[in-house]
């Protein structure tokens, strides 16, 4: 048995499933799509993936603000201590170029190492390694939010 989904073109998010094989289209502003059981499974998997992505985004946001233990903190060359990605982003905004260049230069990126080894954000650390300026690094962090 297939399912028919109805929608109103004025409100595309108002999809309503109906357990009938066919229902007539009442007006030009409405439509229907007949779905087989396998198509319905695909939609259910897509919805599950959407929910999982939303969950992981919330989890990443929580990890973004989670502080590491003091012995895992990042110590900037000017003496400031960073305990989380949120603190790292905040420090980048006011950090002098001398401090930034002390930690990031050809063949060295202390920030990427800390993000990878301590915080566990593997993909972000790879992206940070590609950046050589404070502005590029800030943009990479802003994309997380």
Per-residue pLDDT of the chain (145 residues; tens, 9 = 90+): 444 444 444 444 444 444 444 434 333 344 555 556 666 666 666 666 666 566 556 556 667 788 999 999 999 999 999 999 989 999 999 999 999 999 999 889 999 999 999 988 888 888 899 998 999 999 888 877 6
Range of 126's domain?
A: 70-142
123 part of a folded domain: yes
Same domain, 89 and 43: no
26 part of a folded domain: yes
Same domain, 48 and 109: no
Same domain, 74 and 118: yes
Secondary structure (DSSP) of 5-73 = EEEETTEEEEEEEESSS-----STTEEEEEE-HHHHHHHHHHHHHHHHHHHHHHHHHHHHHPPPPGGG-
Give me the pLDDT at residue 133, please. 93
pTM above 0.85? no
12 part of a folded domain: yes
29 part of a folded domain: yes
10 part of a folded domain: yes
63 part of a folded domain: no
């Amino acid at each position: 048995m297939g399912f028919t989904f109805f929608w109103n073109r004025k409100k595309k998010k108002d999809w309503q499933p109906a357990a009938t094989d066919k229902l007539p289209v009442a007006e030009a502003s409405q439509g229907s799509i007949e779905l087989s059981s396998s198509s319905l499974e695909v939609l259910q998997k897509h919805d599950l993936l959407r929910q999982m992505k939303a969950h992981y985004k919330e989890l990443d946001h929580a990890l973004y603000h989670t502080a590491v233990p003091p012995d895992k903190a990042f110590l900037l060359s000017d003496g400031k201590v960073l305990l989380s990605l949120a603190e790292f982003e905040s420090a980048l905004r006011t950090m002098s170029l001398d401090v930034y260049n002390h930690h990031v230069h050809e063949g060295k990126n202390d920030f990427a190492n800390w993000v990878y080894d301590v915080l566990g954000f593997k993909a972000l650390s790879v992206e940070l390694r590609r950046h050589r300026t404070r502005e590029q690094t800030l943009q990479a962090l802003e994309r997380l939010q």
